[in-house]
Structures are given as C-alpha cells and as structure tokens.
Amino acid sequence: MRKFLATAFCITLAYILFFSYVHSKMEEERNVLLHNENRILETSYKAVTQMFSISIENYFRYAIMQPSVLKILHEVNDTNNSQEQAILRGSLYRLLYPFYNDELKKLGIRQFHFHTPKGDSFLRFHSPTENGDNLMDIRPSIQKANIEKKFVTGFEGGRVYPGFRYVFPIVNEGEHLGSVEVSLAYENIEFELAKLLSWSDHVLLLKKSITTDLVFSAHKHHFMPSILSDAFVIENQKISNVTAHSIESELTKKINTILKERYDIETKLLEGKNFSIPLVENDEGYIANFHAIYDLSNTLAAYAVTYSRLNDLVAIQHKYITSLLFGFITFVLIGIVLYLLVEQSRKTLREKIQFETIVEKTINGVILLNTKGEITFINASATTILGYKLEDVLGKDAHTLIHVHPHNTTKEDCPILNSMRYQRTYIGEEIFRKKDGEHFIVHLNATPFVQDHHNIGSVVIFRDITQDKEAQKMIEHLAYYDSLTELPNRKLLLDRLTYTLANTKRTQEFCGILFIDLDNFKILNDTKGHEYGDILLKQVAKRLTRTLRLCDTVSRFGGDEFVVLVTKLGEEEKEAKERMAQIGYKLLLSIAEPFRLINFDYACTASIGGTVFKDDDKTINDILRDADMAMYEVKKERKNEIKIV
C-alpha cells in the first residue's frame, strides 16, 4: 500500500508539473493571441486617428486660415465691445457655417470651436449660444495651444462632448488671434474602426472625470452609465447611432454580462493599461479588447473597447484539454508501469536475495559457467568443497581445473559442456579435483541457461558423494555378507547359486552344494556362552575359506550352518560327486584341528551333506533341500561324516 501511495504521489506530482507546464503554455499561446488582437485594435485606432489628423490639418490650412476668417478674428482681438464681438461671432458663424455644415459634419466632426487668446470660448458651431466661458483650466489642449502656440492633438474631455481634439493656434502676421479646435466624436473613430475591424462591436468607455463631471449640466444626458464600471460612462445610445448599434448588439450584451459577473473588471479598468480578456462560454470564444486612451494631461480618459468572437480561443482550449487528457492517460499508464516495475524490481530483489541466500547457504556446490566453460560464479560451499579461494577459480576453465576425466575426455565429449551445447540438463556422477589434487565423486546437475534459443551459460550444482558411496558399499556389504564371519550370507549365496545354475546350462559342467553343520555347537553355546560360539564360528569360517578355491563360495547359512557352492566339477556326475566328497573330507579335516577358544582348545566336528547339479530339472530349492537332507542323514547316523547325493 505504501508503495502504491508513493507511486501515486509521484505521478500526481509529475502530473501537476505537467499540468502547470501545459497550462503555462496555453496561457502563453493565448496571451500571444490576445496580444495580437490588442495590437490590431491599437494599430487600427492609431491609423484612424492619424487619418483624421491629416484631413483636419488640411482643413485648417485651406479653410480656416483664409483672409476673411482672419480678418474677423483680428477685429475680435481689437475690440472689447461685447455687441461688436457678438456681431463678429455671428459673422464668423455665417462665414464658416457652410464649411462646418457641408464639410466637417459630413466628415463626422461634431465640434468646431474658436477660442480667444485668453482661452475663452468664442464660438461653438455645435452649440452656438454657449460661449464666453473660460476653458484654460479644464482644457489642457487649449491652454497649450494658446500659451505655447503649438498644434495640440489628443483625447480630452470638454464642456459639451469629450473627443479627439485637434487644436490649432491661430497666428497671423505675428499676432496671436486665439485658437481653433476641431473635435471628433468617438463615434467617428468608431465608424472608421468599424470599417477596419468589421467583425467587432465597438464601445468607448469614458471616465466620468472627463465627461459627466465636466460638461455643462444641459449635456449630461449625452452620457449613460456603463454596465462595466461606475467610474466610466458611455455615450448615450440615443444620441450615438454607432454606439447604439454596439450597445444593442447581442454580442456586446453577452460579453458585458460575462465580464461583470466573472471578472473584477472595475479594478482592471482603473489600472489604465491595454488589456484583453478572453472569454469562453458554451464552446464559443469571445474577446474583449481594451485600449487605454490618455488625455492631453496624460491621465486615463477612456478605453476604446472592441468585442468580437474569437473561436481560436476555443481551439486553443480544446488543444490543451486534449493534451492534458492524453497527458493524464499517459501519466496513469506510466504510473501503472512504474508501479509494476517497482513491484517487479522488488520481487526480483527478493528473489535475488532468496537465490543468493539459497546458493550461499546450501551445502551443495554451485558453479555458474559462461558459454566458454569459464567459471563466472562459485558459491561458498563449492569453494569449501574444492578447497579454492574465490579469486582462484573465477574466470578459470572448469573443464581443466576441477573436472577429472579418467578416460581423457575432450571438451567436445564433456557431458557438462555438452549439456550446455545441446541445451539439455545433465544429471550424473562425475569426478572432481580438489585444489590439493584429491579426487572425489560428485553428483551433479548441469542445467544450461537458455535465452532466445541461445546459450548464455550453465549452472552446475554438485554434491560430494564420496561418503555416500562408502555408506552404500557398507550397506551392500551388510546385505550380502554375514557380519560375524564376513562370509557371504544366505542372500548372496542364493544369488550366486542362481547365477551358477544358469551358467551350468551353458558350460555343461557340474556344480555342487555342501551343507555343513557343526556338531554339538549348541552344547558349547549353552555351556560356555555365545561368546565362545561366535569365536568358533569365525574360526571355522576362516578355515573353510582357506581350504576352498577362490572360485568357490563359502557362506554362512544361519546359526552353525555353512553352505559351500563349488563349481567346475566336470561334466560327469560321478566324477563330480567324487570331487565333492574329496572337498568335503578336506573340509572335515580342516575343522578337525582343535580351535583355540579364548582360554581353551576346543575339538570340533561337523556333519556335511552335499549334492551336485547341472542343467537339469532341479531348482534351487531342490538343490538346497537335497543337500540339507543329506546333511541331516549324516547328522542322524553318526556325525563327522560326509554324504553326497
């Protein structure tokens, strides 16, 4: 569980990093898009205002700076009589009204305004009855134009309308005659912007400080509250046809609602920077671009705002959501694989530890060979058994170092190397050589390592079986020999009898059996004890063995009974029986010699019954029975005699 949790934590952490990266990339791409959109607005805005600037400068040169106008302005400058000024004002209005009405109004210019050198309003063509008010303090453009006598252009508030001011100082024949101002309503800018940015709705957000806080009270109705911020107003849609179109458009309403609900747009607006807000709603992308407009006193005055659809936002969002989704799936898969790898590695490590423990702790020797038969690994048991140190054997050829080949076996015939060569397990007994040269028998299992049908080595597990072999010999000896007399026992006798009987079918020579029973053996045992009896039996066994040929078998058949198997008695029965009798007598004579039993000499006799046999109908039991019966007959009649049947 802890492994799982750790893996899950790591993957979650990695995914968080991936998510952050993808998200930052998405933001980056989206910001590039937004930046471009905002640049388009900014560039369009500059292009439009520049275009108007060029037109208006031409108007100033060719329509305003004409002698008849300058004459009136000179006269205005020369009089303080209000009645005369009124007539001159009217005359100026009369003179330039056709220009105002036919040229400027058609260009969309809303305000055409003459000022005195002191900054008093002299004539507003757009509001002729309103004049005489001083504008120096509230209109930096007029102040600058009349004091510095420089052309001033920029956005500015006003007593009637805020707008884009183009204020020209009027200087003629060295005399400062005041200034004239041509102002564009944003409506005009918007109209031209709409041509360039036909896919957008346009709104001008005006700061209250340059509109409702500044205009004559009679003109406050030119503005209406903005839904986005209390600090801003918009042009009254009942007055501005272009604004009305944008304000009434479903797109603008929708974006405004989203901006108001989801964003702290009021705070953002007060920052006074260009910005764009991407919006995605119901799988539709929108963008709201805000271009900050600063007035001539370098104070934030307004925002040119465009609203448009921008489905690239949805495309970007979809792209990154897909990336995140694929990333998520990938990370989950990686997590699973990682978890499995960790688990596998843990399992492998556990198995390695188990393997190493088994290999190190086992009493069996374990040797790993490479394909060349060189030792690449050897465990402690193996080094102990072989008497080598680890460094003595690593990299050495096992075939020549430790494998003994009694028949000068070559590498090609070596069963261990062949097991690797033929990719088969070899199990068998081989002789290994210790460091001190001692040979010993091992039981080994050589199993090849096979990978993709290729040998990559072999593992040889061996065990020193020298002691096993000796034990086996002992067991076999105990099974076939009498422990007291060291003579073959009944089982071995029967084996040899069976073999001999079978052999007589081929050789056609007679063989024979002698049953020897010691006379009065029971009395000796009863009177002197078994110890004396056992010594007697041992000495009898030695005399019988000494007396007979090596090819004959003397066995202890049980108690004081001995059975002798005699072979090669010739092909004639009679002769065979005679020879059997001779052998019997020789045996009686050897037994007749006194036996030294610990502390006294003991004279012993025996009764012997025998029979001969060849390839006839006699079975082993028949043979033994005949010899036994012959022996009993002797025993019953007179003892210390022989009878061959």
CB of 76 to another protein, least distance (A): 12
- Residue 91 binds another protein (CB under 8 A): yes
Q: Is the dihedral of CA 499, 500, 502, 503 positive or negative?
A: positive
Using the contact rule CB under 8 A, the part of the chain among 56-64, 87-95, 405-413, 444-452 near another protein is: 87-95
Would you give the binding string for another protein spanning residues 360-399, x where CB under 8 A is met?
----------------------------------------
Regarding 225 and contact with another protein (CB under 8 A), the answer is no
> SS3 of 379, please?
coil
Site for another protein in 480-539 (CB under 8 A): none
Using the contact rule CB under 8 A, the part of the chain among 90-98, 397-405, 468-476, 527-535 near another protein is 90-98
- Listed ranges 122-130, 181-189, 258-266, 535-543: which one lies at the site for another protein (CB under 8 A): 122-130
Contacting range for another protein; rule: CB under 8 A; set: 121-129, 177-185, 196-204, 375-383: 121-129
| Beta-bridge partner residues of 172 | 175
Should residue 89 be labelled a site residue for another protein when binding is judged by CB under 8 A?
yes
Residue 128 binds another protein, judged by CB under 8 A: yes
553 contacts 562 by C-beta, under 8 angstroms: no
**DSSP at 594:** P
Could you give the dihedral angle defined by the CA atoms of residues 257, 259, 260 and 264, in that order, rounded to the nearest 10 degrees? 170
Q: Please measure the distance between the N-terminal and C-terminal CA atoms of the chain and give it in whole angstroms.
A: 91
Helix residue ranges per DSSP H, 60-155: 67-78, 82-98, 105-107, 140-147
219 binds another protein (CB under 8 A): no
Instruction: By CB under 8 A, tell whether 118 contacts another protein.
Output: no
Binding mask 30-69 for another protein (x = CB under 8 A): ----------------------------------------
What is the rounded distance in angstroms from the CA atom of residue 551 to the CA atom of residue 564? 11
Nearer to another protein, 93 or 294 (CB): 93
User: How far are the Cα atoms of 185, 186, 202 from residue 241, in angstroms, in the given order?
Assistant: 12, 11, 12
For the chain, the C-alpha Rg in angstroms (whole number) is: 66
Residue type, 266: E
For another protein, which is the closer residue by CB, 73 or 597? 73
- Rounded to a whole number of angstroms, the minimum distance from the CB of residue 104 to another protein is 15
Give yes or no for residue 94 binding another protein (CB under 8 A): yes
- Binding span for another protein by CB under 8 A among 128-136, 257-265, 312-320, 483-491: 128-136
Q: State the CB neighbour count (10 A cutoff) for residue 60.
A: 17
Tell me how far, at minimum, the Cβ of 122 lies from another protein, in Å.
Answer: 10
Which of the residues 293 through 322 are near another protein (CB under 8 A)? none
Can residue 274 be called a binding residue for another protein (CB under 8 A)?
A: no
- Asked whether position 217 contacts another protein by CB under 8 A, the answer is no
How far is C-alpha 344 from the chain's CA centre? 11
Closest CA to 182 of 151, 147, 214: 151
How far apart are alpha carbons 442 and 179 in whole angstroms?
A: 123
- Considering only CA atoms, which of 567, 424, 613, 520 is closest in space to residue 621? 613
From the list 89-97, 135-143, 479-487, 636-644, the region that binds another protein by CB under 8 A is 89-97
The alpha carbon of 489 is separated from its chain's Cα centroid by a whole number of angstroms, namely 73
Q: Does 97 bind another protein (CB under 8 A)?
A: yes
Please say which residue, 128 or 387, places its beta carbon nearer to another protein: 128
Instruction: Determine whether 109 is exposed, middle or buried from the number of CB atoms within 10 Å of its CB (0-12, 13-18, 19+).
Output: buried
Contact between residue 460 and residue 367 where contact means Cβ atoms under 8 Å apart? yes
Q: How many residues bind another protein (CB under 8 A)?
A: 17
Tell me the C-alpha distance between 488 and 632, whole Å: 23
Q: Is 90 in the site for another protein (CB under 8 A)?
A: yes
| Separation CA 372–CA 524 (nearest Å) | 72
Positions 570 through 609 that interact with another protein (CB under 8 A): none
Rounded least distance, CB 235 to another protein, Å? 13
**CB of 379 within 8 A of CB of 362?**
yes
**Residue 621 sits in the site that holds another protein (CB under 8 A):** no
Binding site for another protein (CB under 8 A): 83, 86-91, 93-94, 97, 123, 128-129, 131-132, 221, 238
